[in-house]
Structure 1
Amino acid sequence: MKQAKDYIIFPLDVPSVKQAKEYVQLLSEHVGMFKVGLELFIQSGPEMISFIKGSGTAKIFLDLKLHDIPVTVLRAMERVAEFGADFVTVHCGETPRMLEYAVKGSREKTGVLGVTVLTSVSGEDIHHAGFREEFSSDMSKLVMKRAEMARDAGCAGIVCSGLEVKMVKEKFGKDFVTVTPGIRPSWDAVEKHDQQRITTPAQAIKNGSDYLVIGRPIRDAKDPKTAAMRISEEIEKETQVSSAF
Structure 2
Amino acid sequence: MNTNPIIALDFRNMEEVLTFLKPFDEQLFVKIGMELYLQNGPTIVKEVRDLGHDIFLDLKLHDIPNTVGQAMKGLAGLDIQMINVHAAGGSKMMTAALDGLKAGGSQAQLIAVTQLTSTSEEMMNEEQGIPGSINDSIVNYARVTRDAGLAGVVCSANESALIREALGEDFLKVTPGIRTLADAKGDQVRIATPEFARQNGSTHIVVGRSITQDSDPVAKYHSIKKAWEQGC
TM-score by length of 2: 0.93
CA contact (8 A) 2:154 2:173 kept: yes
Name the residue aligned to 1:13. Answer: 10
Name the residue aligned to 2:35. Answer: 39
- 1:167 and 2:162 correspond: yes
Name the residue aligned to 1:228. Answer: 221
CA contact (8 A) 1:82 1:109 kept: no
Structure 1 residue runs of 4 or more that deviate by more than 6 Å after TM superposition: none
What amino acid is the match of 1:42? Answer: L
CA contact (8 A) 1:28 1:55 kept: no
Alignment map for 1:195-234 (pairs within 5 Å): 195-234=188-227
CA contact (8 A) 1:162 1:180 kept: yes
What's the CA shift string for 1:118-166, capped at 9, x where partnerless?
A: 00011121122242431xxx20111001001110000111000000001
Name the residue aligned to 2:78. Answer: 83
Name the residue aligned to 2:45. Answer: 49
What's the CA shift string for 1:29-63, capped at 9, x where partnerless?
A: 2x74111111211122322111222213x310000
More displaced stretch, 207-216 vs 45-54: 45-54
Name the residue aligned to 1:74. Answer: 69
**Aligned residue pairs, count:** 229
What amino acid is the match of 2:41? Answer: G
CA contact (8 A) 2:46 2:79 kept: no
Alignment map for 1:110-189 (pairs within 5 Å): 110-134=108-132, 138-188=133-183
Shift of 1:28: 6.0
CA contact (8 A) 1:17 1:44 kept: yes
What amino acid is the match of 1:224? Answer: P
What amino acid is the match of 2:18? Answer: K
What's the CA shift string for 1:153-211, capped at 9, x where partnerless?
A: 001110000000011111111111111001012332xx311000011000001111111
What amino acid is the match of 1:100? Answer: T
CA contact (8 A) 2:57 2:82 kept: yes
What's the CA shift string for 1:199-236, capped at 9, x where partnerless?
A: 10000011111111101111111111111111122123
CA contact (8 A) 1:120 1:194 kept: yes
Percent identical among aligned pairs is: 36
Change (3 A) 1:130 1:52: closer
Structure 1, unmatched stretches of 5+, are: none
What amino acid is the match of 1:209? Answer: S
**Rounded Cα–Cα distance in structure 2 between residues aligned with 1:229 and 1:130:** 38
What's the CA shift string for 1:78-131, capped at 9, x where partnerless?
A: 011110211111001142110111111110521111100000011121122242
Structure 2, unmatched stretches of 5+, are: none
Change (3 A) 1:178 1:193: same
**Rounded Cα–Cα distance in structure 2 between residues aligned with 1:132 and 1:125:** 9
TM-score by length of 1: 0.88
